[in-house]
Amino acid sequence: MVGQRRKHSLPAGVLPGSPDEGVEDGGSRVRARAPAPAEESSRAHDAPNETPADQARSLVERLVELNPDQIAPVVRRLLPLGNFALEELAKSFPGPLWRPSLATDSRLPRPEEISATTAALAAFEGEAIPYLKRLMRHSSANVRYYAAVICAAYTSTELIEPLMQVSLDEDRECRRVALHLLSAYQHEPVYRSALTELRRCASDIALPLAVRRRAISALTQLRDESSAPLFVDLLSDADRGIATACRVGLRVLTAHDFGFSRDPWLRWLSERGHEIRVQWLIEGLGDSRANIRVLASRELWHLTRFSRELSETAERADFVAAQQNYQRWWAKNHVE
């Protein structure tokens, strides 16, 4: 199992309760930790009979008004409050943004770059994961989006299933972030199980058409070659949008295009379906259509880093030469 990156040194504590619980129950425990001397004076201003929940609420109310260089003392006081602090942070998430994430950003922002609340939540590391899972099911697309963004700070298989759910989100940016992050988990067994669930969603006629189309798009963007037979079956779906999405998916996965007719696709699957995707793409380099050749070249470069992708202006002879190089490379490095 992939571990979680640890960016902060945290005191020992308890994990939060179930992510489905609406509020913290009376049995929650708080970490016992003596306050640092520098924090004693600020604690003197707290009401003497404040409960841990009251302390957490007060601290979070103060936190959201602070600038990036002011939050450290408050975060240090939130950490020993455990679940009580996490509940309050989740309620105010993501809080006032220091800098909104933009679609044109070349990378996802780190939690400490987004807002005081996101920075504090990420400081809890693994303890925050159940809360992130809950926030990714929130009714607000803004909340779901930033909860997904924070997942980039983790490497935990616990996030695969919720990220797969976000890959079906009605919000395009939520889907984009989830699909980007899921690529890091492709060798995990839980990831493969989640892909199986996406295939079920794509084929389930009881689900809304929009959800089915998003599932097909997610499978395509995740380059799930095992979806090829399903996409061929769905070419005959009653909804033209489903059929079109499957044809696009087949083109991306296989670097071939036999249109909407299932028969040529079924013949091709019977002949080449046992091969792996790299072999399909190598064959696609020799296609008579320039767009298919370019697609095959681009996908092969991303998969293998063996030969740089060719541009749309390249001659067909260049693609044939690249195909021959790939064939020699494949024969040398992938002996059955």
Instruction: Check residue 101 and give its pLDDT.
Output: 72
Q: Give the number of other CB atoms < 10 A from CB of residue 246.
A: 27
Tell whether the torsion through CA atoms of 202, 207, 213 and 219 is positive or negative: negative
Ordered domains of the chain (ranges, CATH)? 58-185 (no CATH), 192-271 (1.25.10), 275-336 (no CATH)
Instruction: Check residue 103 and give its pLDDT.
Output: 62
Residue type, 23: V
List the structure tokens of 329: 């490379």
Residue type, 197: E
Instruction: Check residue 23 and give its pLDDT.
Output: 38
Residue type, 12: A
- CA–CA separation, 160 and 148 (whole Å): 11
List the structure tokens of 309: 């992708």
Mean pLDDT of successive 10-residue stretches along the chain, which has 336 residues: 42 35 39 42 57 96 95 96 97 92 76 96 96 97 96 95 96 96 93 96 97 98 97 96 98 97 97 96 96 97 92 94 96 77
- CA–CA separation, 279 and 268 (whole Å): 13
- CA–CA separation, 330 and 284 (whole Å): 15
- CA–CA separation, 251 and 258 (whole Å): 9
Alpha helices in 159-227 (DSSP H): 160-166, 172-182, 189-203, 209-221
